[in-house]
Amino acid sequence: MASRLKIWGACRTLAVRTQPVRLAAQPFLAQASSTRFYADDATNKPSNSPSGAKREASGSVSKSESRSTKATEGASGELTQKALQETSSSQASSIEALDDATLEQILYGGRPVTSQREGGLTEAQEEALYREGVIPPPEQAEAIVAAGSQSTVPVGTEVQNAGHKFGLPQKPYPDGFHVKKRYHPVLEQITRLLMRHGELSVAQRNMASVMNFLRTSPAPIYSPKFPLLPGTPPAAHLPLNPVLYITIAIDSVAPLLKVRNIAGAGGGGRALELPVPLAVRQRRRMAFQWILDVINKKPSKGSGRNQFAHRIAEEIIAVVEGRSSVWEKRKLVHKLGTAARANVGSNKLKTKKKK
């Protein structure tokens, strides 16, 4: 008896816990969400539910809802039609009562809608800028372009279009005419300066990337400390014309002269500093060489075929905004030329030439 009591006492001290009821295992497709976000957003249609029970439940609910909504649609449809007719008539009457100035103030905030921006360069001014490196007044630019066209197109030599895609050149050929006349003068020169190891296609690709970067960049902010060419259009016009963007940046920072050192002309074996004016192509070449020197000294920001072109475009934007160190080089050259202008008519230079 004592042993049985001990066993029952030990059993009573044990903690007996009931196991929780396990739920039936559901397949993975049933647990997944029935909404396909990308597909439903594109088609504007809800996706089908995966289980048949959900379809039946949704079908019964939709039937009950459709019965209730059909009753309300009939009454609300007539009210909405009347309301739309009243609002359209009231809006038409209010718009007709407003004048043009009030409509302009409401729709555009008081700013007139214009298809062409004011303050830009004409085609004659752009052509004169590409040729001469200076922006003349509109009348003078038209006269320059007209004089150039008269010299290149003689009278009585009009060539009819004989089925060619591009027009044939005029004969007799003017002075300085060559086959590559169709290329832009500024872009051709800069592309040649970008070329390395004779790879012209790579230079052309980099030039296209530079123009694309300038086209998609925001309008620059002009600096009053570093003025650009006289007659430069507003900053909002430059991204619309990347060729004009590059031309203004290069011509604005291009030096007007260079200082030559004539050995022995200064006396005592000292070189004589003589300022010499530069032509348009020489000025552009020197300015772009300065820009390339600044780009090569800056650390690389990444890799890829567009990395070098982006650095060139960023430096052109910095030149227009007055943040580039090229302006200091131009200032130093002009300061040195101003100091050496007294040597232009020097007698020592004449004696040196006689020898």
Q: Examine residue 15 and state whether it is found in any structural domain, yes or no.
A: no
Question: Of 108, 135, 166, which residue sits at a domain end?
Answer: 108
Based on the domain organization, do 296 and 198 belong to the same domain? yes
Which pair of tokens denotes residue 48?
Answer: 């089908």
Q: Assess if residue 325 is contained within a domain.
A: yes
Select from 291, 326, 320, 120 the least CA-distant residue to 229.
320
Cα 299 → chain centroid: 23
In a shared domain, residues 195 and 104:
no
Q: Cis (ω within 30 of 0) for the bond into 174?
A: no
- DSSP-derived 3-state class of residue 28: helix
Q: Is residue 141 part of a domain?
A: no
For residues 195-207, b (16+ Cβ closer than 10 Å) or e, as one string? beeeeeeebebbb
The whole-number pLDDT of residue 89 equals: 62
Name 217's Cβ contacts closer than 8 Å, sequence gap at least 6: 239, 313, 317
Query: Does any domain span residue 57?
Result: yes
Q: 261 — phi, psi (to 5°)?
A: -105, 110
Determine, yes or no, domain membership for 70.
yes
Q: Say how many domains are in the chain.
A: 2
Asked if 210 and 90 sit in the same domain, the reply is no
CA pseudo-torsion sign 230, 231, 234, 239: negative
**94 and 189, same domain (yes or no):** no
7 lies in some domain: no
| Domain-ending residue, one of 108, 134, 163 | 108
- Helical (H) or strand (E) element with 72: helix 52-97
Look at residue 113 in the predicted model and tell me its pLDDT.
38
Fill in the DSSP letter of residue 263: E
pLDDT given for residue 263 in this prediction: 81
Coil, strand or helix at 276: strand
Q: Which two tokens stand for residue 173?
A: 């050929």
Residues 71 and 194 in one domain: no
Residues 220 and 337 in one domain: yes
Say if 126 falls within a structural domain: no
Residue 164's pLDDT is 74
List the pLDDT tens digit at each of the 355 positions of the chain. Answer: 455 555 555 555 555 556 665 666 655 555 555 555 544 554 555 555 544 444 444 455 455 555 555 545 555 566 667 666 766 665 555 555 666 666 556 655 544 333 344 568 888 888 888 888 888 888 888 888 888 766 544 444 454 556 777 777 777 776 666 655 667 889 999 999 999 999 999 999 999 999 999 999 999 999 999 999 998 999 999 999 999 999 999 999 999 999 988 887 767 778 888 899 999 999 999 999 999 999 999 887 777 778 899 999 999 999 999 999 999 999 999 999 999 888 887 766 665 555 5
* Residues 242 and 328 occupy one common structural domain: yes
Q: What is the pTM of this model?
A: 0.59
Considering the domain architecture, whether residues 203 and 345 belong to the same structural domain is answered as yes
Are both 74 and 197 inside the same structural domain?
no
Same domain for 191 and 333? yes
Q: 61: domain range?
A: 40-108
Among 108, 134, 158, give the residue marking a domain's end: 108
What CATH number does residue 211 fall under? 1.10.455.10
Residues 190 and 315 in one domain: yes
192 and 311 part of one domain? yes
Q: Is residue 118 part of a domain?
A: no
Q: Return the pLDDT at 157.
A: 45
Phi-psi region of 19 (alpha: psi -120 to 50; beta: other; left: phi over 0): beta
pLDDT value at position 83?
65
